[in-house]
Amino acid sequence: MILKDKNIVVTGAARGLGLSMAQYLAELGANLVLTDIETREVSKVADDLSAQYGKEVHAFSHDVADVDSWTQIVEAVGCFWIHLDGLVNNAGIMPHVPFPETTLDLFRKTQQINVESVFIGVQAFLPLLKVAGEGGQAASVVNISSMFGQVAGPMHSAYCTSKGAVRLLTKSLAVELPKLGYNIRCNSVHPGVMDTGVSLSALQTLVDMKLFDSIEQASEHYSNVIPMGRPGCGTEIAAGVAFLLSSESSLMTGSELTLDGGYTAI
C-alpha cells in the first residue's frame, strides 16, 4: 500500500486505535495532521513520529463535537496543504452504562461526539477533499464505526445507536457525493473486541459491576466467543484503514470493512 506523501487527517490520534493508525500511516510515508482533545498527548505523538520517520506531522487540539473547532482545524490544514487525500474520523466515546441508567444527556453526548463529528468533519473538509479528487485519484474518507454498529451489545444502547448511524451516514455519502461531482470515496471500518482503548475500558466496567473478577477473566470470556479466539490489535485495524486510504481499494465505496475475528458472523 503506497501512501507516500499523501495528506491525511486522523482524529482521536493521541491513544488507542488512533495512535496505532498514526504510527502505521507515518511508516507508509503519509503526511499527517493528528488531532485530539488531549493536546499534550497528541503533540508528543506528532513530535515522535516526525522525528522517527522524517515526515510532516502536525498536531492540533480538537473537540470534534464543536463546529468552531473543526473550522479552526480546516483553516490550519489549508495553510500548508492545498488538498486533502484522506480523512479518518476516528475520535469517539464508548459509554458502558445499562439502559435504565443511561441519561438523555449521555445519549445525546454520545451522538454528538460519535455521529455529528463525522457529519461536521466531512462537510468541513469537502473543499480540500474535492481538490484531491480532481487530481484523478479519488480522495478517501474512512469513518470508524464498530461491530456494535452492526449487531447489538449489552450496556451500549447509546454507543450502538451512534455507530449504526455512522455506518449508514457513510453509505449515504458514498452514494451522494459522486453524483454531486465530488471524486470522494467513503467507507466505514468496524473493529471488534480489541486489546487496547475503549475495549479495555469496557472490560474494566464489567469488572467494576462484579460480573467478572478481573480484566483477564473478562477478556478470556470474550475471547471464547470470538471464532478466532482472541481480540484484535491496533495494527490490524490500522492496516485496514491504510488499505481504504490507498489506491488499492479504488473500487470500494459505501463498503463496511469488518475486523472482528468473526464475532458478527455467528
Compute the distance between CA of residue 58 and CA of residue 46 in angstroms, rounded to an integer. 6
Q: Is the Cβ–Cβ distance between 150 and 110 less than 8 Å?
A: no
Q: How many residues comprise the chain? A: 266
Query: Which of 82, 68, 158 is CA-nearest to residue 120?
Result: 68
Give the active site residue among 24, 159, 182, 222: 159
Task: Look at residue 89 and give its three-state secondary structure.
Answer: strand
> To which H or E segment does residue 191 belong?
strand 184-191
Catalytic residue status for 24: no
Closest Cα partner for 233 from 93, 88, 10, 24?
A: 24
- Long-range contacts of residues 237-240, Cβ cutoff 8 Å, at least 24 apart: 237/17, 237/20, 237/21, 237/189, 237/191, 237/194, 238/17, 238/20, 238/21, 238/23, 238/24, 238/25, 239/24, 240/189
Distance CA(179)–CA(195), nearest Å, equals: 40
Which of 48, 27, 46 lies closest to 36 in space, CA to CA?
46
- The residues annotated as belonging to the active site are 159
